[in-house]
Amino acid sequence: METVCFRFSQVHLPQIKSLQGDRPRLYFDLHPVLKSDLQAQKQVNGTLVHSIRSFLHRDENRLRVVIDLSPDFNYRVEQRFSEMDTKLCLVIQAEE
């Protein structure tokens, strides 16, 4: 199990989507976003999570966040959000 957390300046409850195949990944969009402090790419090198990427689409005020996963597993993802901390955590587990 690995957990990835993001802290926001306001409440965001994004819809988490997934892509399967040789390069499985999770992704979500945040809108409206005027700026982002996320690195464009961060190598995580976990067993399940390989990297986290983000791109701010300035023309749409939309931030796309992509979590690259290992192709060796099937996944179950639990989304936890704390309104008090405006923090979103994704708990990622390999299915047996």
Q: Domain residues of the chain, as ranges?
A: 2-95
* Domain 2-95 sits in CATH 2.60.40: yes
Regarding pTM above 0.75, the answer is: yes
The predicted-structure confidence for 64-83, as pLDDT tens digits, reads as follows 999 999 999 999 999 999 98
Question: In this structure, what are the phi and psi dihedrals at residue 78, rounded to the nearest 5 degrees?
Answer: -110, 130
Tokens representing residue 83 in the block: 């309104």
The predicted-structure confidence for 2-28, as pLDDT tens digits, reads as follows 999 999 888 888 999 999 999 999 999
The predicted-structure confidence for 50-62, as pLDDT tens digits, reads as follows 999 999 998 888 9
Residues 2, 63: contact at Cβ < 8 Å? no
Q: How far apart are CA 77 and CA 90, in angstroms?
A: 6
Residue 34 has pLDDT above 80, yes or no: no
Higher-scoring residue by pLDDT: 96, 49: 49
